[in-house]
Structure 1
């Protein structure tokens, strides 16, 4: 077997293992925490990195709420532009909950209410997608 072929096979194996490993935490979260709360924020000042960073910090502070089992805070990725990709939003939060009661606790929690009070001036639009594992 040539060196190039061995290198190709080894590289392919490493890439496949890496891809599987990176998906593992999401798979574990999905089966362990079946309630997903995904929120997208459109900033009033979409060109303001300062506003975006304030909102990101505010969303990350929500992780202190005990019923949030996992949280991912994101900004728009520089991926390929396609008709099916909406990249008009500025900040997103993806949260996992063990049950609907935990999600309700989050909604009513003083930390969440304080977040809305202190950060709502930064966004012009919010869309929420709540889902339960099928």
Structure 2
């Protein structure tokens, strides 16, 4: 019984230390330097097609050439624990950082972005965008 309580105490103490450290961490470097975040999630028309997913990933990566895009991260669904709050129904995501709202607006009409849409929109069924400004 005493060992069980000690393990619980050590586990709780470790969790509290980790939580305190995470709360004290500064914003990621990209968010500090580039406070406007553009996060896009794509659902494929053919969700089981690795070929379509790879084409979309390649297309998204071309967006890094746009002058106002400061950083770009392209992702696919991670094999993490299935929980009620986790949405893993999408196929590809893009996470972009911009210096300001004007840069994000310029991205929307940039010829590279428009070409990406023209070349890849046949691959996706649904797109959801989340735009945010770091606080």
Structure 2 unmatched ranges of 5 or more? 1-17
Taking the TM superposition and a 5 Å limit, the aligned residue runs for 1:67-82 are 67-82=68-83
- Runs of 4+ aligned residues of structure 1 deviating over 3 Å after TM superposition are none
1:85 corresponds to: 86
2:97 corresponds to: 96
1:41 corresponds to: 42
Deviations along 1:84-126, one digit per CA (max 9) or x if unpaired, are: 0000000000000000010011000000000001100000000
1:114 corresponds to: 115
With the length of structure 1 as denominator, give the TM-score of the two structures: 0.81
Q: CA RMSD in A?
A: 1.8
2:7 corresponds to: none
Alignment: residue pair count:
114
Return the alpha-carbon distance in structure 2 between the equivalents of residues 72 and 27 of structure 1: 13
With the length of structure 2 as denominator, give the TM-score of the two structures: 0.80
Structure 1 unmatched ranges of 5 or more? 1-15
Return the alpha-carbon distance in structure 1 between the equivalents of residues 63 and 34 of structure 2: 17
Return the alpha-carbon distance in structure 2 between the equivalents of residues 31 and 63 of structure 1: 19
